[in-house]
Copies of this chain bind each other. A is one copy, B any other.
Amino acid sequence: MLYLTHEDIHDPFFYVDTGTKKLIFLNNLEIDAFNERNQTVALKAVAVGQLLEEARALSGDTALSNKLALILFRKYDVLHKPIAVSTHFPLAMAEYLRSHGATLVIKEPFILEREQKSVEEVAHIRESIRRTCTAFECIEDIIRESAIKDDFLLFQGRTLTSEYIKKRVDEILIGQDMENSEGLIISCGQHAAMPHHRGAGFIRPNQTIVCDIFPRNRTSGYFADMTRTYVKGSPTKQVRKMYNAVRDSQDEAIKVLKSGMLAKDAYAVSVKVIQDAGFDVGERGYMHGLGHGLGLDVHEVPFLNQHTTAVLKVGNIVTVEPGLYYPEWGGVRLEDVVVVTENSCENLTNYERELIIP
């Protein structure tokens, strides 16, 4: 809905594209504020006040929103035409509309254009990433300024924890209108060896610290997604080897990414580097795909893994994030975001990769 209307409207609303008109139906509390902000000429707001009264007058035990949908379909004469809806259209509304003669046809992808980002969208994501980089600068500062004391890090006199770093990251990002709406990962040691562990408790010296941050710009709605892995002190030889393999895997994947390529072939390139370095792929080691599309959703098409049949297109924005996970050694993941171009790709994450923080 945000993609179609360019407006972040918090109350539920209906949007109908009749082919000739784009209509957004808002309640009386929302419509003035919307009209003041709306920049999309083709988009007309319609107040639902009177329509809601008509919906309330309909008999039947179903939610008012379902009745309102029926009233809208009747009023705009779309009830007896096939109506495209998304895979996630609510079942109860679908059943009600169909029982009154509507023909709903699931369209997937619902908005095909979302897969190929416009120049404006690329700029939004680039800006989200730029702001996210400031959080990584802060993390590196905290770790650098921490002192190793036995099996802990001391920062400003207190033992450093995952929770403290997350709180600092939250604060830095919210000040730039970026929210960690999907959470964030600051995980160390055993936790870092579980790819989706959010991290908790003490940050340890000489162990891998995986920092994965994927905030959303609250104004544009576009996500960033970025991961760096650090060690305070001295990584083991094995961790150095893991880090180099992941870095090389990421480099090689970014080198080959371009439009027309099978997404699974990009994944295969990243796999080969990992395997050539002597590491596992599958149940252990490199346990996940190479990356995913990024936009108004933090995970969207195309996905880069062994299962997909997707072909990369100009304007795809995808993460490139190989990783290695071993309970006995820790976890390493590096994640940048690239935009696919005709013959290559451009890395939108302009930020160094350094394992060791002295």
Q: Which residue numbers of A lie inside 8 Å of B, CB to CB? A: 8, 10-11, 28-30, 32-33, 36, 49, 56, 63-64, 85-95, 104, 106, 108, 167, 170-171, 174-175, 179-183, 191, 194-198, 218, 283, 287-288, 307
Chain B positions within 8 Å of A175 at CB level: 167, 170-171
Q: Could you tell me the distance in whole angstroms from the C-beta of A92 to the nearest C-beta in chain B?
A: 4
B11–A196 CB distance below 8 A: yes
Complex-state Cα separation, A170 to B11, whole angstroms? 21
A204–chain B nearest beta-carbon distance, Å: 17
25 contacts between A and B (CB under 8 A): A8-B183, A10-B183, A28-B283, A28-B287, A29-B195, A29-B196, A32-B194, A32-B197, A33-B191, A33-B194, A33-B198, A49-B283, A63-B87, A85-B91, A88-B91, A88-B92, A90-B91, A91-B91, A92-B108, A170-B174, A170-B175, A171-B174, A179-B180, A179-B181, A183-B218
Given A10-B182, A32-B194: A87 touches B87 (CB 8 Å cut-off): no
CB distance from A152 to the nearest CB of B (A): 21
- Of the candidates B33, B49, B95, B180, the one whose C-beta lies within 8 Å of that of A197 is B33
How distant is A64 from chain B, measured CB to nearest CB, in Å? 8
- The answer for the CA separation of A174 and B174 in the assembled complex, in Å, is 8
Q: How far is the CA of A32 from the CA of B64 in the complex (A)?
A: 42
Which residue in chain B gives the minimum CB-CB distance to A298?
Answer: B10
Q: What are the residues of chain B within 8 A of A89 when measuring CB–CB? A: 90-92
Given contacts A88-B92, A171-B171, contact A307 B56 (CB under 8 A): yes
Nearest CB to that of A49 among chain B residues? Answer: B283
Of all chain B residues, the one with the shortest Cβ separation from A299 is B11
Whether A95 contacts B90 by the Cβ 8 Å rule is: no
A10 and B216 CA atoms in complex are apart in Å by 15
Among B11, B33, B94, B174, contact of A91 (Cβ-Cβ < 8 Å)? B94
Instruction: Give the complex CA separation of A124 and B36 in angstroms.
Output: 37
Known contacts A29-B194, A32-B197; 12 further A-B pairs (Cβ under 8 A): A28-B283, A33-B191, A87-B90, A87-B92, A87-B93, A88-B91, A88-B92, A90-B91, A91-B94, A92-B106, A171-B175, A174-B174
Q: Give the complex CA separation of A187 and B195 in angstroms.
A: 43
Cα–Cα distance between A171 and B176 once the two chains are bound (Å): 10
**Which 9 A-B residue pairs are closest in the complex by CB-CB distance?**
A87-B92, A33-B197, A29-B196, A89-B91, A88-B90, A170-B174, A29-B195, A174-B174, A91-B94
